[in-house]
Copies of this chain bind each other. A is one copy, B any other.
Amino acid sequence: MTNHNDISLESYLESRRAIINEALNQHIPGDDAYPPIIFKAIRHSLFAGGKRLRPILCLAAAEAVGGDIYVMLPVACALEFIHTYSLIHDDLPAMDNDDYRRGKPTLHKAFNEAVAILAGDALLTEAFRLMSDKELSRRIPAQKILDAIQIISKAAGCFGMIGGQTVDILSEGTEVDAKTLHYIHTRKTGAMIVAAVKAGALLSNATEKQILSLSAYAENIGLAFQIADDILNVEGDPKVMGKKSGTDACRGKITFPALMGIESSRTEIHKLVERAIIELANFDHHAIPLKMIAQYVMERNA
């Protein structure tokens, strides 16, 4: 799937990841902090080679409306904290019971279950500490920050990510219809992707109209990303992904490819990415990163 944009896409993502990783590193105390095990555990999962999609989207949305990505970094880190906590808890024996993620033992395997539960809880809590810190409110009006916290907590909560994960877990091994699958996908993955884009735009003084377009962009990207994830679970290379493939089917998890076939799923991804890009029509060259991310979602293999 190589094309002429690949180099710039890769280098763009790499440079963004470097900025985000540096910020994440600054926001988590080293092993000399007490109790060291909790920070070691957090670092194990936080620096396990994540794609940083949510923080990258947050920064790109800020950029698209003329915002400063460096001002936005605490929010970008908070989004990655929340994403990482959700993976740690999803991997637990009582949930998906996964031993590996991104080629490394999952946190409860590397440490133990108690530490994994606590490290997840800590990341979720520290996300809100980061967003309420003076580092951000010195630069952005407090009410806008509260609005961003509201958007992100709603997306992460009962009617968002946790709702999606709850239905996903309960649906294992049962007959699931297209409507339920759509609920799971839009909540479990989609909600936080939309929140990342909305928060980045809102905190960068986007207009109402811009936020609407960017939300629609993110909804399409989010669903495309999840379908791509499902396809990778069926036919991805475990070496590239760092985890086993075929696990969804083994667990009796319903997926897009299982429901509509691999080829239709691919066509759906293309349609969604096209729709996402159309939403960017009224933005200038500052929205190029968002277009590149759309392309990445379509072409990713891990």
Q: Which residues of A contact B (CB under 8 A)?
A: 29, 33-35, 37-39, 42, 85, 89, 92, 94-95, 112-115, 117-118, 120-122, 124-126, 128-129, 131-134, 137, 141-143, 145-147, 149-150, 153-154, 156-159, 162-163, 165-167, 169-170, 183
- 6 smallest A-B Cβ distances: which pairs? A94-B113, A142-B142, A129-B153, A132-B149, A142-B143, A132-B150
- Across the interface, do A94 and B121 meet the contact criterion of CB distance under 8 Å? no
A98 shortest CB reach to chain B, Å? 13
Assuming the contacts A94-B113, A117-B94, asked whether A35 and B163 have C-beta atoms less than 8 A apart, the reply is: yes
Bound-state CA distance A85–B128 (Å) is 16
Q: State whether A158 and B128 are in contact (beta carbons under 8 Å apart), knowing that A121-B89, A169-B114 are contacts in the complex.
A: no
Closest to A129 in B: B153
CB-CB under 8 A for A125 and B153, given A117-B94, A118-B166: yes
- What CA separation (Å) do A150 and B38 show in the bound complex? 20
Contact A129 B142, beta carbon cutoff 8 Å? no
Which B residue sits closest to A112, measured CB to CB?
B94
Whether A149 and B128, one on each chain, are in contact in the complex, defined by CB atoms closer than 8 angstroms, is yes
* A115–B157 CA distance with the chains assembled, in angstroms: 14
- Residues of B contacting A166 in the complex (Cβ-Cβ under 8 angstroms): 35, 37-38, 115, 118
8 additional A-B pairs beyond A129-B154, A137-B143, beta carbons within 8 Å, are A34-B183, A37-B170, A38-B163, A118-B162, A122-B157, A132-B149, A145-B146, A149-B149
Q: Which residues of B contact A145 (CB under 8 A)?
A: 142, 146
A179 shortest CB reach to chain B, Å: 11
A162 to B29, CA, bound (A): 15
Asked if B95 and A158 sit within 8 Å, CB to CB, the answer is: no
Measured between alpha carbons, how far is A129 from B156 in the docked complex, in Å?
Answer: 10
A144's closest neighbor in chain B, by CB? B142
Q: Can you name the residue of chain B whose Cβ is closest to the Cβ of A115?
A: B166
Q: Which residues of B contact A132 (CB under 8 A)?
A: 146-147, 149-150, 153
Q: Are B117 and A158 in contact (CB under 8 A)?
A: no
A165 contacts B129, CB within 8 Å?
no
The minimal Cβ–Cβ distance linking A84 to chain B, given in whole angstroms, is 13
Complex: A142 Cα to B142 Cα, angstroms: 5
